[in-house]
């Protein structure tokens, strides 16, 4: 049985996971006291360590450079389109929509794309989006409109991850059903993430549809690893978007 101080674990992660996979037992210590036991029989902890290792590698290799690339984008329309497209590509999402929050308490469709259908509108495509904005406040009552996943995320400022929209009773996905019928498509998983400024105000929303297993091509749910990747990209993209919007106001 090996003992490894907690502070040494990041640098020995590969060796620890390999040893655990072979059935060895490793005790993680803090101030010489046992903190955790990693073994071939402790799959949850081993997977958790691998999760964070993979996430860190992805951040260094892809997400942080992408954030710098977005920050260098001078054109607002191209920036908005790239935020959506890069989010889709990072997590292998087939479909996606980017909304911006308007002054009249509404979410405006800015860009959308469904890769498998070769469908794209808004952004720099030249194809207008013939969809009305989603109202954040209900007509008449002025109450928050929480019936759509995108407006819920805009109002709550929280990420929403739905494995299968056809089994969701909390939100109205009639728009997705109409799209499916018109295009012989099948909407399944849905990940909706807020774009927030430094003060926590929601500037817009990214909604991604149908996570896809890159190996098999099968539709899957958005797993926690993918959710964190998109949330981190959203933070980086929001900072750039906020700068653009502030320049327009000046």
Of the candidates 212, 232, 238, the one whose C-alpha atom is nearest the C-alpha of residue 223 is 212
Higher pLDDT, 215 or 155: 155
Write down the architecture of domain 74-249 according to CATH. Answer: 2-Layer Sandwich (3.30)
- For 35-71, the pLDDT digits (tens) are 566 655 455 555 566 656 666 677 778 888 888 888 8
In whole numbers, what is the pLDDT of the chain averaged over residues? 87
Apex 245 CA angle, 103 and 122, nearest 5: 75
pLDDT at 10 over 70: no
CB 81 within 8 A of CB 123: yes
Please compute the mean of the pLDDT values over residues 214-236 and round it to a whole number. 88
For 1-72, CATH number?
3.40.1620.10
* Annotated domain spans of the chain: 1-72, 74-249
Instruction: Please state, in angstroms and as integers, the Cα–Cα distance from residue 54 to each residue in 47, 62, 71, 85, 228, following that order.
Output: 10, 12, 25, 22, 12
Half-sphere exposure in the Cβ direction for 194 (13 Å, CA): 18
- For 136-168, the pLDDT digits (tens) are 999 888 899 999 999 999 999 999 999 999 999
CB 211 within 8 A of CB 189: yes
CB 24 within 8 A of CB 37: no
Runs of H (alpha helix) within 169-223: 174-183
Angle between helical axes of 64-71 and 224-249 (0-180°, round to 10): 20
Q: What pairing do the DSSP bridges indicate for beta strands 2-5 and 26-30?
A: parallel
Of the candidates 26, 128, 37, the one whose C-alpha atom is nearest the C-alpha of residue 77 is 128
Global model pTM greater than 0.85 = no
């Amino acid at each position: 049985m090996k003992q490894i101080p907690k502070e040494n674990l990041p640098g020995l992660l590969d060796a620890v996971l390999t040893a655990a996979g072979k059935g060895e037992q490793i005790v993680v210590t803090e101030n010489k006291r046992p903190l955790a036991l990693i073994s071939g029989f402790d799959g949850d902890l081993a997977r958790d360590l691998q999760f964070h290792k993979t996430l860190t590698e992805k951040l260094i290799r892809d997400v942080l450079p992408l954030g710098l690339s977005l920050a260098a984008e001078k054109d607002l329309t191209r920036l908005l389109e790239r935020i959506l497209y890069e989010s889709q590509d990072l997590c292998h999402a087939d479909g996606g929509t980017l909304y911006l929050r308007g002054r009249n308490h509404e979410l405006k469709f800015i860009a959308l794309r469904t890769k498998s259908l070769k469908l794209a509108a808004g952004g720099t495509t030249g194809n207008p989006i013939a969809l009305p904005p989603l109202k954040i406040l209900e007509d008449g009552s002025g109450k928050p409109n929480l019936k759509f996943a995108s407006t819920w995320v805009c109002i709550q400022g929280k990420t929403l991850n739905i494995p299968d929209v056809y089994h969701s009773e909390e939100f109205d996905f009639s728009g997705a059903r109409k799209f499916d019928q018109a295009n012989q498509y099948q909407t399944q998983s849905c990940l909706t993430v807020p774009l927030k400024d430094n003060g926590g105000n929601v500037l817009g929303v990214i909604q991604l549809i149908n996570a896809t297993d890159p190996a098999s091509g099968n539709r899957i749910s958005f797993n926690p690893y993918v959710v964190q990747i998109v949330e981190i990209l959203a933070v980086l993209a929001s900072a750039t978007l906020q700068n653009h919007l502030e320049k327009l106001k000046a």
